[in-house]
Amino acid sequence: MEKSKAKKGDSLTTAKVLSDALPYMQRHDGSIIVIKLGGHAMSSDAAMTSFARDVVLMRQCNVNPVIVHGGGPMINEMLKKLHIKSKFIDGKRITDAATIEVVEMVLSGKVNKAIVQAINGQGGRAVGISGKDAKLLQCKQADPALGLVGDPQVVDATVVHSLIADGMIPVIAPLGSGENGETFNVNGDTAAGAIAAGLKADRLLLLTDVQGVKDADGDVITSLTSDQVTDLIENGIIAGGMIPKTETALKAVVSGVKAVVIMNGQQENACLLELFTTYGAGSMIRA
């Protein structure tokens, strides 16, 4: 009897959650949500399965997720296996001809297809591409000292719109093409920001390993304007690895993305919490 009551209570809770989520599902109906999935968020099969289930649920609710992924830890692992040493400038990897071959192999091959398989395994219809496909990301060299590292100049999102229209979930590896046919390695956050801007996305979700942007007391700031972000950077409160993420967010909102959320991708159901609940997750940045 007690077990039966417990099950009924769980069912009522589930029904209440779904009912409360309805206004948010209506708000995001038909919207495009670009999600940057970092390499650390793919560290376990359980985390990948949970993320995939969330993405499939979003698509079931007529939200259009577009996944842009990284893969730094996997690239490091493969370079080590192949005895290819990496050199860095200010923490940025120099990408030479040998390194870009490994980067493309890992990102477009192992990592991209693992995400596609996870989403399809949960009942979704994911398709893996890279920024080289259909001239999605056309780049110039970011810095000659860094070698084959690209900075997106033109985003042709035609192929992404086509996949969305066919009910697919695009999964994009952050590679780009140069005007002379070069393959460029593109920072994952940078690629996600450029693609979100090209799609005029409703949201760009940057999944990280921290809760969000924090104030001087270490508390997460749930909502910020672009001016507030600039002030926090100038005052040294936003520092280290959070600077490039907030700069990506600022560039995205200026380029037409409605809002960017920096959030902890290791939190279970993080994307659903952000989109379909009152309190959301992480720090939202708007223009």
Residues involved in catalysis? 36, 39, 72, 189, 245
**Collapsed DSSP state (helix, strand, coil) of residue 181:** coil
Give the pair of three-digit tokens for residue 13: 């809770």
Question: Residue 139 CB: number of other CB atoms within 10 A?
Answer: 27
Q: Which amino acid type is present at position 209?
A: D
d(CA 67, CA 113): 12
Packed helices 97-104 and 72-81: angle between N→C axes, nearest 10 degrees: 120
Give the pair of three-digit tokens for residue 260: 């960017």
Per-residue CA distances from 237 to 183, 240, 248 (Å): 36, 10, 17
**Collapsed DSSP state (helix, strand, coil) of residue 158:** helix
* Strand boundaries in the chain, DSSP class E: 32-37, 64-69, 88-89, 92-93, 126-130, 137-141, 150-155, 169-173, 175-177, 183-185, 203-208, 223-225, 259-264, 283-286
- Give the CA count within 13 Å in the CB-facing half-sphere of 183: 19
If you search the block for the tokens 């949500």, which residue do you land on? Answer: 33
Tell me the β-bridge partners of 177: 138, 183
